Structure formats: C-alpha cells, structure tokens
Amino acid sequence: MENFTSINDVKSLTDLVQKTILIKDKVLQEPRKGLNKVLGLIFMNPSLRTRLSTQKAAMNLGMDVMVMNFGSEGWALETSDGVVMDGNKAEHIKEATAVVGQYCDLIGIRSFPGLQNREKDYSEEILNSFIKFSGKPIISLESATRHPLQSLADVVTIEKNKLHKKPKVVMSWAPHPRALPQSVPNSFIEWTSKMDYDLVVTHPEGYELSTEFLNGVQIEYDQGKALEGSDFVYVKNWSSYEQYGKILNQDKSWMISKKKLKNSNNAKVMHCLPVRRNVVISEDILDSNNSLVIEEAGNREFAAQAVLSELLDNIK
Amino acid sequence: MENFTSINDVKSLTDLVQKTILIKDKVLQEPRKGLNKVLGLIFMNPSLRTRLSTQKAAMNLGMDVMVMNFGSEGWALETSDGVVMDGNKAEHIKEATAVVGQYCDLIGIRSFPGLQNREKDYSEEILNSFIKFSGKPIISLESATRHPLQSLADVVTIEKNKLHKKPKVVMSWAPHPRALPQSVPNSFIEWTSKMDYDLVVTHPEGYELSTEFLNGVQIEYDQGKALEGSDFVYVKNWSSYEQYGKILNQDKSWMISKKKLKNSNNAKVMHCLPVRRNVVISEDILDSNNSLVIEEAGNREFAAQAVLSELLDNIK
Amino acid sequence: MENFTSINDVKSLTDLVQKTILIKDKVLQEPRKGLNKVLGLIFMNPSLRTRLSTQKAAMNLGMDVMVMNFGSEGWALETSDGVVMDGNKAEHIKEATAVVGQYCDLIGIRSFPGLQNREKDYSEEILNSFIKFSGKPIISLESATRHPLQSLADVVTIEKNKLHKKPKVVMSWAPHPRALPQSVPNSFIEWTSKMDYDLVVTHPEGYELSTEFLNGVQIEYDQGKALEGSDFVYVKNWSSYEQYGKILNQDKSWMISKKKLKNSNNAKVMHCLPVRRNVVISEDILDSNNSLVIEEAGNREFAAQAVLSELLDNIK
C-alpha cells in the first residue's frame, strides 16, 4: 500500500480486515516495526478519536508521532495556483506539504470540506496536494469526501459482531442541527458494498449521495421498511449532495430509537461519534447492549495500526 | 491505589511522601516500569506546571504520553443525562470518556469549576464521569474541588524544609483580581491536616471553606496573629464558598510581604503558582530565600511520578 | 556551547557547518545521545518548520520532547520588574522560566518582537529571561532580533549548492502586506558575513538594518545592480528599523522573479518560508530548479540536530 486515502488503495480488503482483527487480539505484535520512523499528524480540523487512536496505533508500532493542529496553531494555507498571495493566507500548500514531508516518514492529514462549493470539495485539493507534493505516504484522517480509517473500523466491528454469514446492514440518515459532510456515509458505502452484506441505504428524498459512491446500492426512502429485519443499523447525518451542503430536513421522526428497531433483527446500532444523544440516536439505545458505538471507536486504534503497518512495509 | 483524586485514595500518606522524596533524590529509579503504557492527559482548562511536570514524570517511568487540550482543540462536552443535544455541545461525556479510556492505560484529567453553581461544581461531574465511564485509573490534574498532586508536592516541600518536628503551618488567603476556585486550599487542608503540623487557616470573614474540607481546622481571622511564630506560610487566593464564586474582599493589606513575616519564625513562603507579584505576594519575598515557590513547583514532577508509579503497580 | 542564541555562541562556525552537513548525510549518527534528556519547546508565537524540524532533530538524538504553545494554550507572561500584577497577566517570566527549567534538560524558546517598541524588542527580554532564570541551556527558536537555527540552515544550503569558492550572495528585501520582524535578515547577515562570500544587501531606502548587525556589509540601493552576477539571492521582507516596525514601501517591482535574475549567474533563490507567492517571489521561480526553498527548509532539521548535539555535549 502506497497511500491510504480510500478503499482503492487497499489490495485485499479481506486481508486488511483480518490483519485488523489480529491486532485487536494482540496490539503489541510488532512493537519495533516503526522504530525511528516519524508519523506526522496534521489536522486542519479538530479531532478526538482519530488523533488519539492513530497516535496510539503508531506508538504500538514503536513510531514517533508529531501532531500539528493547523487550525488552532494558526496556519491558513493557500491552495489555488497563480494567486497573488496578498491576503490572509501566509503559505501555499505546495511549500507547506513539501516541507512537512521532509520531516516525516508518513503523514496523516485531516481536512474537512467547506460545504460551500461541491466541485472544490470533491476535488480533494488538500488531500491531493499532500499526495502530490509531500513525497511521503499519505493517510487520510478524514478528507472532504471520505473517512477510510473509520470505514475499516466499521467493517471490523460488523465482522466481530455478526451472527450470521450475510447480515442486513442499513445505513440510516438521522437529523442533526448542523450541516455535516458526506465523507462518513460515502466511505461506509464504498467499503461495506465490497463485503458480503445485504446493504440498504435509507434517507429522506433530497439526501441522495453521489452516484460515484452510491454505485447502485439500494435506496429505501421508507425508513421503517428499510429497518425491517436489519442486523446492523449505521446511523449518520449528512447534508445534501444535490443542494450541496444544505440542511433540507430536520424531521425528528428519523432519529433512531428502541421503538424504531422493533421490527429489526435485534439490530446492533453503530455511529462514528461524536453523537448527539436524543437527536441522532436516543439514549435508550446508546445506554443499551444494542449499541456498538464504543467498541466501534475502540476499533479505530486497530484499524489505524493495520494501515500503518501496511504502509511501513512499503517504506522499509 | 486505583485512582488518585483525593487523599482518600492514598493508602499510606507516610509511604507516598517517602516515595516522592526518594524519587526527588533520583528520578530514574524505574525507567522501564511504564514501558508500552500510555498516559492520556486531558485538559478542559489550560495548564503549565501540571502538564509539563506530569508529562516529565511519565517519561521518567518510560511511559508514552498523549496530551489533549479539550478547550483549545474544541470539544465541548455535555454532562447532563436525558438532554436533547441540539445545542452547541457535540458529544456527551459518557461517550467521550469511554472512548478515550480505550486508547489509554491511565488518564489524567483537569477540569476547573465554573464557579456559578456550587452544587454542580462540588458534585465533580466531569471527574466522576471519567471514573465511572472510562474504565481506566484516573489521576486528577486539578478538579473542581481538589488539587491532590499539588498537595502532595506541598507536603513534600514542607517535609524537605522543616527545621523542627512539628512546624507551624499557616494557610493565608490573599487578594486577587479574579475569582478563583477553592480546590487548592481545600486540598491543602485535607492533606496537611493529616500531617503532624500545627495548622492554622487565616482569611477575611466570608471566605470560610466547606466544612467537609475544613474539618475542624482552626480559623484565625486576624492574619497578624495567625502568622506569629509560623514556620511556613502557604499563600493562596480563593473565592467565597458561602456566597459561591464571589469576590467579597480585595483588601490589599492581606498581601503577604516581608513586613508581614516579622513575627514569624523566619517563615518560608509557599504558593502553587502562577502567582501575581505584588498582589498576592510581594517581590521582596519572591526574590528572597524565604520563597519556596520554585522548589515547590519542582516537586510537582516527583509527586506525579510517585503517584504514576503507584497506579502502574495496580494495572501491571 | 552553553546556549545557542546567536553566532556568538558558536565556537567554530566551520566545524558546526561541517557537522550539520555530516548529519544531513546520515541523520541517525547518534541515536542514543539524548536518551533520558528532555527538550522543552516553548512557543510564544506559532511555528511550523521550526517546531517540526527541531522536534524531529531531537528524536533523531533519542531525546524526549515536550511542546508548549504559550500563545494558544493561554499563558501571558509579565516581564517587567516591580509591577503590581493586577492586570491580565497571570504569571511573571521569572517564575515561569525557573519552573519550566526544572522539568527540562534543554529549552527552546520562540518569541517574536512586538514591533511597537524598538528598545524593548532589541533588549530581548523574553530570551534573556530564559537564559537568566531557567538554569538550563537555551536554544533560540527565533527571538525578537535573531533566528540563528535558520541562519545555520541557510549557510549549509549555500555550502551544499555553491559552484565556486566565493559565491556572490545577495540578500534582497521584497514587499509584503504585513509588518515583519528583522530577525531573519539580521541573523542572515551575522552568519554569512563570517563566511567567505561576496555579500551584498539591497533594499529601498529607509530599510537599513541596525548597524550592530549590518556591521559594514555593503548596501546597494539599486536592486538590479545588486543582483548582477549573483549566485544566491536570499529574499526576505522586513519592516523598518529606523521608523521602527513600519511598512514604508510596498513597491511591487521589488518582488523577485525570473526576469529579475536575467543578469544573475543563474542565481539560486532562497527564502526562510512561509513565502507569499507572487508577492515576495514569483511562482516562475518557486516552481523552478532555481528555487532552494524546500531544501533550505529541510536543512532546518540537520541544523537543529547539530546544535542539540553540541549542547548535549555540555550537559552530559
């Protein structure tokens, strides 16, 4: 693996999932593999789980980690070519990435979409600039359109909890007070559609994801019908792709609650966190055994470690 | 020791003080004890001494450290049960603590009181949520009502500097332009009242600390009388407990100065820092040999290391 | 070497440059030299290159690093003596430095000038307080008047790229929308004037640097004439020293572009970064082989490592 920015970078999904599960069983498998290797973690946007789980994963491999919060530590980057930089951006991403690349062996980068300009966001200019100019392997810590470390952890969570061979997995939109990216749902579909799952997506009309990601997966606009017989319900809000970045609907009846699961197959509920209680998912689920959200977040460490280990193979 | 949040977690105060003194003599006693163990340091409020001294202490034990500033890195946590989280708080403390707990072997948490609602502050909801939900040993890096790492360093500072068996130790209130927590004075009393000291507390009327902490310790409202014959003067501002969080008094005559110590037993002056010069303590003391404030801050490292070492014993 | 705050701390410039070049060839020369030694990196102002390159350098030597952003982590320090500290500064630099010194073996400190008061800035009160009160070796990570780690990297960059024995090195002022410190140009002259270079400084009238730094180096007010036959052009904006901190000139014709170099000796262009494209230097240079800015930034790591290694010799 040269970079890890989407499922397209993964040679064998089966092998990567298996590797992650083995790490979950025993994290200190390769405690010296990353010795004298430095992982730079660059955050354009705040991070809790991703930062700590990836830092922990790197430590498990013996790597050193340097964390840089570009947001709060004050470094706004210009991304356009040919600009006369006399505004408030002090550095161009071409120089910033090339410089940081020299100090690191691997680079993780988080950069959220602005949700104002779809074409710009979906062009992934920040992530792609790091790939193009840093000269080092890049790990996406969530980009404008994808969150692959989350998706790998999600798949592993399903694999560890499924009770029969081909579970029914439903990804359900839920309401949220703020406009959120499509990266987690895009990525979830991209990964789970490669698994042997009965995958259904449910959301109000107008919330259709990009066909690039949806790729023929079944949409069921009736949430109740979608949830019938489900084994896993993946809950997530996102803003509209069509009317880009807009909140079209705040219908509270889309919140996932115990009552909603009555016709499910005693479904396990997942969410990438942070989750707004009693807005996205009711607390009667979050505080029950049906919730997998904590285990799912725990799996982030093992997913990151599997990916780092693969990338280290390539730079050794 | 399972957690370290107050003196009640300490089995033997004598042993812990002794252990801290031994570490002060030689910090690299157990350089591999914490190998492959991760200490997460979570700050809801800014920290200089506590952060650096605890991080250094962990390094002395071979631990890895992950620092997370929830304040400046932008993560506001909901703490109430049953709330519909449609406001500005994106995550509930139940999830945040359970998640962070999975990435760490030990967790240090700093959370100041809001000083608006006494019952809420004294219920220690943040600290207690970490204890309840993280599943890992918790070290208080100063909570709403206590600062036990400071108090251990304070006791060690007195022990290393006392010239006779039972010194007179006076804790004196001093003025300050801002409303400050009661955590340091609460904790200082809780710890020093267990030692063989002649302990006196002096402050203007209205600044009585909670009886839970005061626990029968003598209050002398006449500062001059309190300081007579004192060997150690512990200076600290706090806001009112009775009229909760209020500044009742800014009487400059309460500032501790050389002149104030004329009837003392050449008293040594202590303060947890940061200290406002010529407001809380005059510079004629801070720049003199009577000041112990720097040594006291230095002892924070050894206190943290003793506590971490004890906690590591329990998770090995 | 006891401290590293200017070229005056360097015993042999030749040896230090040579050492840096050897490290550039092989960074892991002394991977255990800094074991159990802690480098504290204190930033009063934001930093990208300096923070990451110095942290990486320390790791190459096996040191532990603690980073503290005083700016964003909220610690404003009082620096004047005798002040009644009842304003918005919670701590005096005397205590802060003495305390931090106890937790570190080496301290790096960045503190920019305020550009309001020349005497105050040029007195280097922050840097000098660290030297005076911390009790530990101090490395300047850029102070009010100098940036010696940058200058060492600059000299090494010239040494590695020069095509004949005595290159012509031109430091040229260039326009910038904000008022910037004189630290980089001051320091560049201080270091390069000790090398066997044909050194020329060019800038609009009114931008004369302090004679303390300029020290007889030739000023050529005609930029075109200065650039004739140049082998290296070091580009940098600074604000006026005479009319302290003022922007006197924003003449765009001073920007360095390909066209400007037509009478040069195919000059290589340097800049400390961050650089504003098409304001300070045109992109036809930055995207060409004439630009050394990325290599120059890369050399920051090796310069920092050479300096840390020298300082470690002294504290062993």
- Per residue in B180-237, pLDDT tens? 999 999 999 999 999 999 999 999 999 999 999 998 999 999 999 999 999 999 999 9
- Please indicate whether, in this complex, the C-beta atoms of B69 and C66 are within 8 angstroms of each other: no
Contacts with C59 from chain B: Cβ below 8 Å: none
| Minimum-distance CB partner of A72 among B38, B64, B72 | B72
8 Å CB contact between A51 and A69: no
Token pair for residue A147?
Answer: 């969150």
- Please indicate whether, in this complex, the C-beta atoms of A103 and C28 are within 8 angstroms of each other: no
Residue C133's closest chain B neighbor by CA?
B294
Whether residue B130 is predicted with pLDDT greater than 70 in this model: the reply is yes
Query: For the whole model, what pTM was predicted?
Result: 0.96
The percent helix, strand, coil of chain C (3-state, each to 5) is: 40, 15, 45
The residues of chain C scoring below 70 in pLDDT are 72-74, 316
Contacts with A102 from chain C: Cβ below 8 Å: 294, 297-298, 301
Per DSSP, the three-state class of C308 is helix
Q: What is the pLDDT of residue A76?
A: 81
Whether residue B46 is predicted with pLDDT greater than 90 in this model: the reply is no
- Please indicate whether, in this complex, the C-beta atoms of A48 and B102 are within 8 angstroms of each other: no
> How far is B23 from C287, CA to CA, in rounded Å?
55
Q: What is the pLDDT of residue C70?
A: 83
Per DSSP, the three-state class of A160 is helix
Whether residue A74 is predicted with pLDDT greater than 60 in this model: the reply is no
Residue B297's closest chain C neighbor by CA?
C99
Residue of B120 and B74 predicted with greater confidence: B120
Looking at B62-197, which runs of residues are DSSP E strands? 64-69, 77-78, 91-92, 106-110, 138-140, 168-173
B interface test, pick of A53, A54, A56, A281 with most B CB neighbours within 10 Å: A56
Residue A217 CB partners (closer than 8 Å, separation 6+): A189, A193, A199, A200, A201
Residue C79's closest chain B neighbor by CA?
B277
Whether residue A279 is predicted with pLDDT greater than 80 in this model: the reply is yes
Q: What is the pLDDT of residue C72?
A: 63
* Cα C248 from chain centroid (whole Å): 23
- Please indicate whether, in this complex, the C-beta atoms of A64 and C69 are within 8 angstroms of each other: no
Q: What is the pLDDT of residue B69?
A: 87
Token pair for residue C261?
Answer: 């170099």
8 Å CB contact between B12 and B20: no
Give the H or E element holding residue C219: strand C218-219
A136-155 pLDDT, tens digit each: 999 999 999 999 999 999 99
Whether residue A71 is predicted with pLDDT greater than 90 in this model: the reply is no
| Minimum-distance CB partner of C59 among A64, A73, A84 | A64
* Mean pLDDT, chain C, whole residue set: 96
8 Å CB contact between C256 and C285: yes
Domain A7-146+298-315, what fold? Rossmann fold (3.40.50)
Residue spans per domain, chain C: 7-146+300-315, 149-296
The percent helix, strand, coil of chain A (3-state, each to 5) is: 40, 15, 45
- Please indicate whether, in this complex, the C-beta atoms of B99 and A298 are within 8 angstroms of each other: yes
> How far is C163 from B87, CA to CA, in rounded Å?
64
> How far is C256 from C279, CA to CA, in rounded Å?
9
B interface test, pick of A61, A277, A299, A302 with most B CB neighbours within 10 Å: A277
Neighbours of B208 (CB within 10 A): 15
pLDDT band at A73 (very low <50, low <70, confident <90, very high): low
Give yes or no for A177 touching B (CB within 8 A).
Answer: yes
Q: What is the pLDDT of residue B74?
A: 57
- Residue A193: burial class (beta carbons within 10 Å; 0-12, 13-18, 19+): middle
8 Å CB contact between A268 and A261: no
- Please indicate whether, in this complex, the C-beta atoms of A273 and B85 are within 8 angstroms of each other: no
- Please indicate whether, in this complex, the C-beta atoms of B298 and C66 are within 8 angstroms of each other: no
- Asked if the domains C7-146+300-315 and C149-296 are classified in one and the same CATH topology, the answer is yes
8 Å CB contact between C66 and C41: yes
Give the H or E element holding residue C40: strand C38-43
Contacts with A149 from chain B: Cβ below 8 Å: none
> How far is C86 from B149, CA to CA, in rounded Å?
27
Whether residue B72 is predicted with pLDDT greater than 90 in this model: the reply is no
C87-143 pLDDT, tens digit each: 989 999 999 999 999 999 999 999 999 999 999 999 999 999 999 999 999 999 999
HSE, side-chain direction, 13 A CA sphere, residue B112: 17
A39-64 pLDDT, tens digit each: 999 999 889 999 999 999 999 999 99
> How far is A299 from A24, CA to CA, in rounded Å?
7
C interface test, pick of B52, B64, B65, B72 with most C CB neighbours within 10 Å: B52
Neighboring chains of A (3 or more beta-carbon pairs < 8 A):
B, C
Domain C7-146+300-315, what fold? Rossmann fold (3.40.50)
Lowest mean pLDDT among A3-7, A76-80, B49-53, B265-269: A76-80
- Please indicate whether, in this complex, the C-beta atoms of B38 and A46 are within 8 angstroms of each other: no
Strand partners, B270: B234
* Mean pLDDT, chain B, whole residue set: 96
Q: Which of A123, A136, A141 is nearest to A38 (CA)?
A: A136
Give yes or no for B246 touching C (CB within 8 A).
Answer: no
Strand partners, A232: A169, A268
From the options 3.40.50.1370, 3.50.50.60, 3.90.105.10, 1.10.10.10, give the CATH code of B7-146+299-315: 3.40.50.1370
- Write out the CATH class of domain A149-296: alpha beta
A interface test, pick of B59, B72, B77, B86 with most A CB neighbours within 10 Å: B86
Q: How many CB pairs under 8 A join A and B?
A: 81
- Measured in angstroms, the CA of C286 and the nearest CA of chain A are apart by 9
